[in-house]
Amino acid sequence: MLKIEFLGSGNAAGVPVWGCDCNACLSAESDPTKRRRSASLAIHTEEGITLLDAGLTDLAERFSFTSVKRVLLTHFHMDHVQGLFHLRWSEQLEPIPVYRPDDPLGADDLYKHPGVFAFQPPFKPFDSVEWPGFRVVALPLIHSRETFGYLLGNGRYCMAYLTDTAGFPAETLSYLQRYPVDDLVLDCSEPPRDSMPRNHNDLNAAIALWRQSGAARLWLTHISHRLDCWLEHSAATLPEGVYVARDGMVLEVEKDMWTDNDT
């Protein structure tokens, strides 16, 4: 069984935004189910947990040391890695491997003082690795720093988790079009706009990318309070097959065969 848990579905500011009195932020202050924290996943298998990004600062309260088998990073912006700074002080002898794109800057002094984390050689575009219960393929994205999304496969099920990005590189779109992606989880920071936001997608771009990819379903993530305000009145206008991710949401997948015909 593969279980994919959305630890967070928000952008860097999260929802509610500190000091904001928009409808989305006021609703999230009074209703915890409407809050959004930094976009990230916990991938649960019989082996244990793989963290896909680590932007939350309470990971130690959520997961035991022995349950976390590895960390998979999309990129080194703080809202995706800051949780590692709280965990690296562990005095456990067994290091936790961290997989990442090739970004020589990293984040602050993580490379110099990784503590319990063992940074692995960086992925190259379209590198793939098999771990107990699922397989990962690194997909290059378009962002202000070197960034990968990841294709997650278990049996015939396939999820593409693609945040942060503004559009897709041509080779990533071509790769997605060759495979039957069931769930495309995609950066959608903004409501529909006349022009693309910088480094992220608005709803118009996200839906266009979904349709080009051929994925069965689209889940919106990396969501801002501006998009939540728009959804409050317009969610019913979303096309069939388009859904909004939420913190705590879980997708469960039965095991079967999933193969990559390019290898």
Residue 74 lies in a domain: yes
Residue 220 lies in a domain: yes
- pLDDT score recorded for residue 198: 85
- pLDDT score recorded for residue 197: 82
Q: What is the pTM of this model?
A: 0.94
Helix (H) or strand (E) holding 72: strand 68-72
Residue 260 lies in a domain: no
Residue 258 lies in a domain: no
Cα–Cα nearest to 213, from 186, 189, 188 = 186
CATH number at 210 reads: 3.60.15.10
Residue 213 lies in a domain: yes
Residue 116 lies in a domain: yes
Reported as a single tens digit per residue, the pLDDT across 126-158 is 999 999 999 999 999 999 999 999 999 988 899
Residue 259 lies in a domain: no
Stretches in the chain below the pLDDT threshold 50? 256-263
Domain count, the chain: 1
- pLDDT score recorded for residue 263: 34
Give the sheet arrangement for strand 148-154, strand by strand.
128-131, 134-140, 148-154, 157-162, 183-187, 217-221, 242-244
Residue 257 lies in a domain: no
Domain that holds residue 74: 2-252
Reported as a single tens digit per residue, the pLDDT across 251-263 is 998 754 333 344 3
